[in-house]
Chains A and B, each alone.
Chain A
Amino acid sequence: MTKTFKNTFLKIKSFIRKVDIKKRLFELFVFPFYLITHPLKGYEEFKLEKKGKMWVAITYILLMILSMTLKQTSAGFLVSTPSITRVSILKTALFVIVPVCLIALGNWAITTLFDGKGHIKEIFIMLGYSLAPYVWLSIPMIGVSNFLIAEELQIYHVVLNIGIFGIVYLAFFGFLVLHEFGLFKNIVTLIATLIAIMVILFVGLLVLSLLQQIYGFLEQVYKEYIMRTS
């Protein structure tokens, strides 16, 4: 009994050593915090020393989905929506993943025209990292919101807004450094990115409705054929 226990303990220990949990924690928490305090220098290390990791970005996107879901299901009574029968984790996930992918794609498409130096993978990872401040602030605040009364709700809203500001702040400097742009050019490309996203959405909807019509047409042909032959 004690032997098996000891064995598993040793196994876990060796696994932890192999995974290097200290380094992983550093990558997950300390480096994003370093990005907030030193955005320019941090993003240079992010790009040149390859300190931005894909798994961290994906973790933060997943955490963002978790935070959005928790906000709907576990936030305090005073800040929650009345009925939680319509919570859909798939919808929430799309609500996070689709904008991130769209911004990454749109920005990459525009910045290649503007001589930006960033790759699409870098942009995606950077967007994942920039969700970090919101995740850090919102998940504890959702817990705290259960203990707030109406007069104190401002705390909750202010902290969440700071989180949103953090997202914008990190993403803005991320674009600036990754593409090696000046301030003005960065703003111009961001506006162009917005337009690009709209174009992508428009084309996407167009293709979708076209496919629907083609499907409808084929269905009609099939039905007519069945009706005539039978």
Chain B
Amino acid sequence: MKKKLIIILIVILTFSSYLPIKASYNYAPWGDVIEQAESYLLKRQVNNANLVAEGGQEASITLSNLKDVFVYNEHLYVSDANANQIYIFNSNYEYLESLPKADDDLGQLKQPEGIYIYDEKLYVSDFNNERIAVFDLNTKLFVDEIKNPDDPIFAGDFKFKPKKVLVDRTERLYVIADNVFEGIMEFDSDGNFNRFFGTNEIRLNAFEALVYKLSSKEQREKMALKFQASFSSIDIDNSGYIYTVAKNDTPPLKKLNFKGGNILNSMGYVSVVGDARYPSLREKVATGPSSFADVAVHENDYLFSALDDKRGRIFTYDDEGHLLYITGSMGSQSSMFQRPTALVYWGDRLVVVDSGNEAIMIFELTDFGTLINEAIAHYKNMEYDLAKETWEEVLSLDSNYFLAYAGIGRTQLRNEDYKNAVNNLKRGYDYYNYSKAYEQYRNQKLQKLLPYALVLILAGLIFGIGRTLKNSIKRDKEDLGD
């Protein structure tokens, strides 16, 4: 009996090491890739095989080239550039209807790309019709359009081909258009062109700059034009800051204020660039830095996610720039991405549309991810003790989560528990707060030690003076003696 048990145990132990335990990854403070528990898991995938209309009937549509996704009033809006339609789904991911209606002549779309909804109005960037089409969501009818901007800078054969659109709370429009390199186009609420916004910089390397400096005007005209990197997507948070992502640009993700300056905090272990380590030479895998296709801001304003369409990963950061977790992967399995195009938050859920496997993918938080979000929420709401407790729970699930140590340390620093704060902040590699905590800790220690040190120094001084006096008296005596 015992023998059998031992054999069974040995077999289990041997094979358990081969069990595929799927885990996500993150970056250690020193830049290495370390494993981390999964924070988001694919909960639901809506594709052509399991697509149903409301009430369980068969839906009459086929998802194909999905370009953008938006969530408004518990409804999901998805744009399809092949079918030239905007599909609307309810909160059970059942198909409701599509826009534009067949009899809406003015509203017919040609390759719709980005969509945005503000105040019951659906803004569609109608790529090949060269306009932004506006639909009313109550009547489901076309109401307005924004055509080619009437401004002298767009003279000549300029074609207004919008790719992404965004509306802020004053109904200003922000548009990313094809072949526009000056930045985001800003339109006022009447549809007139205002200005370019948040221009990317042209970067020359040292050699290019030298060549440019030494060349004459005629030579410069013959040179190949070097353009700014154009944005790939935008999103806006509740305070009105605009998040942009651009491929082949540094930094790839920006948070723009109204003036167009980048105010993104980047205090994390790795900067806000997606993958911090990547192969640069091998041919069989994707090489080079992450290329962000879309960015989405959580409704709580301090979490944002960026979608990398090169390796199919979603990177989630908090507003200080800490990389919280990484989700998703590229591959031909149905649960993986093939050509992810857009990303949006639906509460805590993440919705991704993929034009490769023609599906809408819904990710939901795991317990681990929920705890992380909760801990950050507690910290933002100034409930520091609760934050500490939550971080401790995070650590019980994944002791490699460095941010948790830093989080605990910050609370201890606030509670003036400097000794423990120093230790935890050191484990969490939070240099700024470590310095603050250590300053207090050192003061405490000095306060304890200083009296003894002063007494010692005083005693030394008295002894020294005494000896000199004694010697001088002795010398005087000797002098007198002579």
* Chain A contacts to B: CB under 8 angstroms: 77-78, 81-83, 147, 149-151
| Cα A147 to Cα B443 with chains together (Å) | 11
B103 in the interface (beta carbon within 8 A): no
Report A-chain residues with C-beta under 8 Å of the C-beta of B442: 147, 149
Nearest chain A CB to B432's CB is how many angstroms away?
7
B28 in the interface (beta carbon within 8 A): yes
**Closest residue of chain A to B438, judged by CB?**
A149
Please state if B439 and A149 are interface contacts (CB–CB under 8 Å).
Answer: yes
Nearest chain A CB to B131's CB is how many angstroms away?
52
Report B-chain residues with C-beta under 8 Å of the C-beta of A147: 442
Please state if A151 and B29 are interface contacts (CB–CB under 8 Å).
Answer: no
Please state if B28 and A150 are interface contacts (CB–CB under 8 Å).
Answer: no
Contacting residue for A77 out of B30, B434, B436, CB 8 A: B434
Nearest chain B CB to A11's CB is how many angstroms away?
36
Nearest chain A CB to B322's CB is how many angstroms away?
15
Q: Which of A78, A147, A149, A151 has the most C-beta atoms of chain B within 10 angstroms of its own C-beta?
A: A149
Interface 1/0 per residue, B409-435 and A, CB below 8 Å: 000000000000000001001011011
| Cα A78 to Cα B432 with chains together (Å) | 9
Please state if A78 and B434 are interface contacts (CB–CB under 8 Å).
Answer: yes
Beyond A77-B426, A78-B435, A149-B435, list 18 extra A-B contacts (CB 8 Å).
A77-B434, A78-B434, A81-B30, A82-B28, A82-B29, A82-B30, A82-B429, A83-B29, A83-B30, A83-B32, A147-B442, A149-B436, A149-B438, A149-B439, A149-B442, A150-B432, A150-B435, A151-B435
Report B-chain residues with C-beta under 8 Å of the C-beta of A150: 431-432, 435
Contacting residue for A83 out of B28, B431, B435, B439, CB 8 A: B28
Counting contact residues on chain B (CB < 8 A from A), the size range is 10 to 19
Interface of B is mostly: helix
Interface 1/0 per residue, B436-459 and A, CB below 8 Å: 101100100000000000000000
Nearest chain A CB to B422's CB is how many angstroms away?
9
* Chain B contacts to A: CB under 8 angstroms: 28-30, 32, 426, 429, 431-432, 434-436, 438-439, 442
The 8 closest A-B pairs by CB, nearest first: A83-B30, A150-B435, A82-B30, A149-B435, A82-B29, A149-B439, A77-B426, A149-B438
Nearest chain B CB to A37's CB is how many angstroms away?
28
Nearest chain B CB to A154's CB is how many angstroms away?
13
Report A-chain residues with C-beta under 8 Å of the C-beta of B438: 149
A-B contact pairs, 25 of them (CB 8 A): A77-B426, A77-B431, A77-B434, A78-B431, A78-B434, A78-B435, A81-B30, A82-B28, A82-B29, A82-B30, A82-B429, A83-B28, A83-B29, A83-B30, A83-B32, A147-B442, A149-B435, A149-B436, A149-B438, A149-B439, A149-B442, A150-B431, A150-B432, A150-B435, A151-B435
Nearest chain A CB to B424's CB is how many angstroms away?
12
**Closest residue of chain A to B269, judged by CB?**
A82
| Cα A83 to Cα B426 with chains together (Å) | 12
Report A-chain residues with C-beta under 8 Å of the C-beta of B429: 82
| Cα A149 to Cα B418 with chains together (Å) | 14
Nearest chain A CB to B436's CB is how many angstroms away?
8
Report A-chain residues with C-beta under 8 Å of the C-beta of B436: 149
Nearest chain B CB to A183's CB is how many angstroms away?
33
| Cα A99 to Cα B415 with chains together (Å) | 51
| Cα A78 to Cα B436 with chains together (Å) | 11
| Cα A29 to Cα B87 with chains together (Å) | 83
| Cα A150 to Cα B32 with chains together (Å) | 25
| Cα A147 to Cα B431 with chains together (Å) | 14
Nearest chain A CB to B365's CB is how many angstroms away?
29
Report B-chain residues with C-beta under 8 Å of the C-beta of A151: 435
Report B-chain residues with C-beta under 8 Å of the C-beta of A78: 431, 434-435
**Closest residue of chain A to B439, judged by CB?**
A149
Report A-chain residues with C-beta under 8 Å of the C-beta of B432: 150
Nearest chain B CB to A82's CB is how many angstroms away?
4
**Closest residue of chain A to B402, judged by CB?**
A82
Nearest chain B CB to A195's CB is how many angstroms away?
22
| Cα A78 to Cα B437 with chains together (Å) | 12
| Cα A77 to Cα B439 with chains together (Å) | 13
| Cα A82 to Cα B434 with chains together (Å) | 14
Nearest chain A CB to B54's CB is how many angstroms away?
54
Report A-chain residues with C-beta under 8 Å of the C-beta of B439: 149
| Cα A81 to Cα B31 with chains together (Å) | 11
Nearest chain B CB to A40's CB is how many angstroms away?
38
Report B-chain residues with C-beta under 8 Å of the C-beta of A77: 426, 431, 434
| Cα A82 to Cα B28 with chains together (Å) | 9
Report B-chain residues with C-beta under 8 Å of the C-beta of A81: 30
Nearest chain B CB to A84's CB is how many angstroms away?
9
Report A-chain residues with C-beta under 8 Å of the C-beta of B29: 82-83
Report B-chain residues with C-beta under 8 Å of the C-beta of A82: 28-30, 429
Nearest chain B CB to A157's CB is how many angstroms away?
15
Report A-chain residues with C-beta under 8 Å of the C-beta of B435: 78, 149-151
